[in-house]
Chains A and B, each alone.
Chain A
Amino acid sequence: MMYKLLRTFCQGLRIPVFLYGLGLAPALAQESRPLPPVSRVYALEHVTVIPAPGRKLEDVTIIVRDGLIVDIGKGIAVPGEASRIAADSMYVYAGFIEGMSHTGIPRPKEDESGSAPRVSDPGNPPHQVAGIQPERTVAEVLKTDDKSIETMRQLGFTLAHVAPRGNMLPGSTALVLLSGKDDDAMLYKTPVGAFSQLAPARRVYPNTTMGVMAMWRTLYRQAELGHTHEKNYASNPVGMARPAYEHTVRALYPLADKSQAVYFRADQPLDPYRIMTLQRELGFRLVLTELVHGTSVIPDIKAGNIPVYLSLDLPERPKPVSNGADSLSAAAQEKAALEKRQAEARTSLYQQAAAFAKAGIPFGFSTLKLKDKDFRTNLLLMIEHGLSEDQALAALTTNPAAMLGISQAVGTVEKGKMANLVITDKPFFTKEAQVRFVMVEGDMFMYEATAKNPKSGAAADTGSASVSAVGTWSYTTETPQGSSGGTIVIEDKNGTLSGTFDNDQADSPTSIESVSLNGNVLTLTFSVNADGQQLPITVEVTLSGDTMTGTLSVASFGTFPLEGTRTAKPD
């Protein structure tokens, strides 16, 4: 019912396709450019190196040649042909590793709410339509100039364990160097394992989580039987029916003989339980990825010796809960109590990483859902909630390297290792630190330092009185149905604010019933008509110069992020 109304609302506005990359706020630096490849030899002089978590070398020089770290130490000779990098007093870390990600894989063009796949019998769709494509490889779907590669590299990631996008079994995973070169040069190892999610197909079988679980059992048992049959046939085919050639099932043979692991996405609250139930039953090698609600299953993970990648995606930090609940109305008291529980729920997610560390379970991080602007915020949140900086660094470097079996090549800054480096102007885990250089297999990417929040600083100086909302704003918002955008026009008529709210594809703008500016917080309330139903909408944004960030709330359906910029201003 609620869903239906929400959908109706979205259809009313005709909210278009998800715009991928929307909401990627200005990150750590303004631009990056590979230095001209005059030479494949670099010297990083007088730097502080953190070769591995818990270790530190001060005032050393690193020599990189043809993609490898060839020397590291104090006062070593710099070869004449080396490009000298002015990295004095900077900090060098091993390049970060995405334990499980979709970096470099564009989102499928078809929108989530688009038309249903056309199949003659939804009960027996082709495997591809059902989301069962374990034979697919990353190389088939990798886009080397996808924006996400640059975005993640800018954060310090140099190597990613990448899975294709899709539903139940979207394909095999691969290790990809984030150099942005051509496919073959970027691929470090393929395949690594199989990626899987408890993700039903749309309108065809398996259309539910229980359908996915049943399909998993069927496919896995078919793979076990087929694999054995094929081996027997190979050794003696006399009198034996030939094994049927089913490429989908054959792609699962490495799971059945346990030469490959299944990297299962487990971000929903009950996913870890359901996936471990399947694993106990079938016995495949399991790796849990994108774990969000994992604290309660720590004993099972420990007992099963299951490798884990924790999600770097965290809910936003709760606002402080007011303590004066006693004096509030009954409804406000109830709301305060609910908010308190919600804040506790969020805090427990922030504490997850520390809980795993405390239990002695080594983990990496996965970034299937990470928004780049949250990367450092979320790491620091975890550290604030009990994770040590060394543990955090290990989860970004040495742990995933070990879990992926590539410790000898990557994960630390040592002679002989691949030159995957991230270089910051301050120690990485200090709040103001900025990434200034990233090196991927010896290719250098440089990032300019940015001034820290000049706009908010200015606002603080001038005070809220000078904040003006007047003008034309272009905004985007993201709802579960996708992204949409449009314009908000705010006018000042003799000291009274008024305005209109428009959406890209709505028939006409809606006039805003109430506009109020309190300090730098702008609140707009109005309602839209969705199939004869008036839906109240509230937009609450914080203004900073010519940008707005905040939320759009639709009745009781939820609150969605909204951000925008001022495109025109009256003189």
Chain B
Amino acid sequence: MYRIFLYSIILCAGVWSTAGTRAQAPKGNILIRNGTVLTITRGVLPATDVLVMNGKISQIGKELKAPQGVQVVDATGLYVMPGIIDAHSHLGIDDVNEATNPITAEVFTGDVINPYDINIYRALAGGVTISHALHGSANAIGGQSETLKHRWGLTDPEDLKMEGAPRTIKFALGENPIRVHGIGRNISPRTRMGVEMVFRRGFMEARAYDEAWKKYRAAVKTQPNIAPPAYDLRMETLAAILRGEILVHCHSYRADEIYMLNKVCQEFGIKPVTFQHVNEGFKVAPELAASGSYASVFADWWSYKFEVYYSTAYNAAILTRNGVITSINSDSEELIRHLYHEAAKTQRYGGLTDEEALKLITLNPAIQLGISDRVGSLEVGKEGDIAIFNQHPLSVYAIPQMTIVDGIVRFDISRDPADMRLYVDPTEKIKPILWQEEDFDHCMDGTEALLEEQ
């Protein structure tokens, strides 16, 4: 009886025995001297120093003194900005889609982090210090996703997790879940209406599941001899969404279904939702702002399938000016290397200010990932994630010079030898490459075999 009781306490606390505690990823000290500091939240500071101690920004000011032995970087003539954050990426993970079920809330991309993925280093070379390793969009409710810190050089996957970042999960609307499950396997959802039902059914079941466990935990205190409900990690996860413990990121294109999910989430008390892609977001921008939803968009990428025909490069600007917290994402290991260019496009298409444009790739994605108290701007007390550019990062001539994570230099253009791999396959045949892989987004990775079935 005691064990059951103890068990329920453990369940309540949401903590399972974590026998071994791991040491945290290393943090560094660095002084960046005399750069043009783009703080994002406190304006532009010319000829200013930034001091990072033990991984955190300890001072921003003029003529700072670095303690003995701290690395000093001369940023005279250079631009210093917060590390770029990508709210939608699939790099650094070995699996993207567990595409076998319309709901796979229990799976977690954080379980399959690949610290050896060279694309992490390439993203660093584009000034990106944090990426959101999202599950794909094959399922209405896909997997939980990990916020990665690009600590290139560390080999333990756990070290790439941004410790303490909120849990997130991927939802998907429209053609992808319909194609995989409805058309591919003739099960629900087969229509956009069906997708809505998958959410409603899932949340109702989770609500009942949560109720059953709550009832059990309350009753077991006085009646130790009762049976526990069946355990189900999928339902546990959905229940955690309903309790507001997991941030929702939803793959979406069309205004009608964006509106649909917003309504469903409001009904079940889930907020805020970050709508990903959200190519028709400009049509429902006031509604998104009113509901407190966020948007994470491409700068100018659409027409790659039927439901994405109607879009505009003004999307980010329209959403921003309507008061929607908006970010620009990559969903691609190529685009992630020049998100600063992607952000600059909003100045050509929509005339955003420098600060508004830079927020799209720094503070705003940080808000969407629930980490804006720690990263996304250069402020004392925030983490030492910094990108240094030769020109203003919104200039078409900008080239990242150095990228720093937690005060440790993880990319330095002056020390960038040809072969930066951490893992070398001991048996692969070294041969000239004859075919070029096409660059796709990876939202549908892992679904090919399933789709062939039909």
Contact = CB atoms under 8 A, between A and B. Distances in A.
A558 B111 contact: no
B208 interface: no
Contacts of A335: 430
Interface string B83-105: 00000000000110111111010
B100 A123 contact: yes
Interface stretch (B11-19, B163-171, B265-273): B11-19
B225 A339 contact: no
Contacts of B353: none
A121 B101 CA distance: 8
A331 interface: yes
B320 to A, nearest CB: 34
Interface in B210-234: 223, 225-228, 230-234
Contacts of B432: 331, 556
B157 interface: yes
A558 B7 contact: no
Nearest to A125: B100
A342 B426 contact: yes
Interface stretch (B118-126, B378-386, B433-441): B433-441
A211 B107 contact: yes
A243 B228 CA distance: 9
Interface in A176-223: 203-211, 213-214, 217-218, 221-222
Q: How large is the interface on B (under 10, 10 to 19, 20 to 34, 35 or more residues)?
A: 35 or more
Contact of A558 (B225, B227, B429): B429
Interface in B433-454: 433-435, 437-438, 446, 449-450, 453
Interface in A501-534: none
Interface in B248-286: none
B1 interface: yes
Contacts of B423: 269, 345
A472 interface: no
A303 B22 CA distance: 10
Contacts of B100: 122-123, 203-207, 211
A2 B4 CA distance: 52
A2 B143 contact: no
Nearest to A213: B111
Contacts of B453: 116, 203
- Interface of B, secondary structure class, is loop
A1 B434 CA distance: 12
Contacts of B415: none
Contact of B425 (A224, A229, A342, A559): A342
A240 B104 contact: no
A556 B435 contact: yes
A270 interface: yes
B226 A270 contact: no
A341 B424 contact: yes
Nearest to B114: A270
B225 A274 contact: no
- Pick from B19, B94, B231, B426 the residue with the most CB of A within 10 Å: B426
Contact of B98 (A211, A221, A241, A242): A211
Contacts of A76: none
Given A208-B446, A210-B108, A303-B20, A1 B437 contact: yes
Given A116-B453, A344-B424, A304 B20 contact: yes
Nearest to A222: B231
Interface string B320-359: 0000000000000000000000000000000000000000
A277 interface: yes
A274 B112 contact: yes
Contacts of B245: none
Contact of A210 (B20, B107, B418): B107
B428 A558 contact: yes
Interface in B1-59: 1, 3-4, 7, 16-20, 22
Contacts of A273: 155-158
B232 A218 contact: yes
A316 B234 CA distance: 44
Nearest to A236: B225
Contact of B107 (A208, A269, A344): A208
B225 A238 contact: yes
B426 A345 contact: yes
A553 B429 contact: yes
A210 B157 CA distance: 13
B157 A270 contact: yes
A123 B101 contact: yes
A40 interface: no
A228 B3 contact: yes
B374 interface: no
B227 A229 contact: yes
A337 interface: yes
Interface residues of A, number: 71
Q: Is the interface of A mostly helix, strand, loop or mixed?
A: helix
Nearest to A339: B430
Contacts of A236: 225
B303 to A, nearest CB: 22
A225 B426 contact: no
B187 interface: yes
Contacts of B425: 342, 345
B107 A241 contact: no
B18 A280 contact: yes
Q: Which of A5, A124, A221, A344 is the most central at the interface, judged by chain B CB atoms within 10 Å of its CB?
A: A221
Contact of B7 (A208, A228, A244, A277): A228
A238 B226 CA distance: 9
B427 interface: yes
B421 interface: yes
Contacts of B101: 122-124, 205
Contacts of B227: 229, 233, 240-243
A225 B228 contact: yes
Given A2-B435, A240-B226, A274 B111 contact: yes
Contacts of A568: none
A320 interface: no
A207 B225 contact: no
A201 to B, nearest CB: 9
A238 B232 CA distance: 26
B416 interface: no
B20 A214 contact: no
Contact of B112 (A210, A282, A296, A341): A210
A221 B426 contact: no
B185 interface: yes
B287 interface: no
Nearest to B135: A210
B233 A218 contact: yes
B109 interface: yes
B189 to A, nearest CB: 12
Nearest to B434: A556
Contacts of B418: 334, 337
B435 A203 contact: no
Contacts of A211: 95, 98, 100, 104, 107
Nearest to B1: A232
A378 to B, nearest CB: 13
A218 B231 contact: yes
Given A211-B104, A238-B225, A280 B19 contact: yes
Contacts of B106: 214, 217-218
Contacts of B231: 218, 221-222, 225
Contacts of A221: 16, 231, 233
B4 to A, nearest CB: 6
A121 B187 contact: yes
A283 to B, nearest CB: 4
Given A211-B100, A218-B232, 14 more contacts: A2-B435, A2-B437, A205-B101, A208-B107, A218-B231, A218-B233, A221-B16, A232-B225, A273-B158, A296-B155, A316-B427, A345-B423, A349-B426, A555-B434
14 contacts: A122-B101, A204-B100, A206-B100, A207-B98, A210-B143, A218-B231, A239-B223, A273-B158, A274-B111, A283-B17, A315-B427, A334-B418, A339-B430, A345-B423
Instruction: List 7 tightest A-B contacts by C-beta distance, closest first.
Output: A123-B101, A208-B95, A241-B227, A205-B100, A345-B424, A559-B429, A213-B111
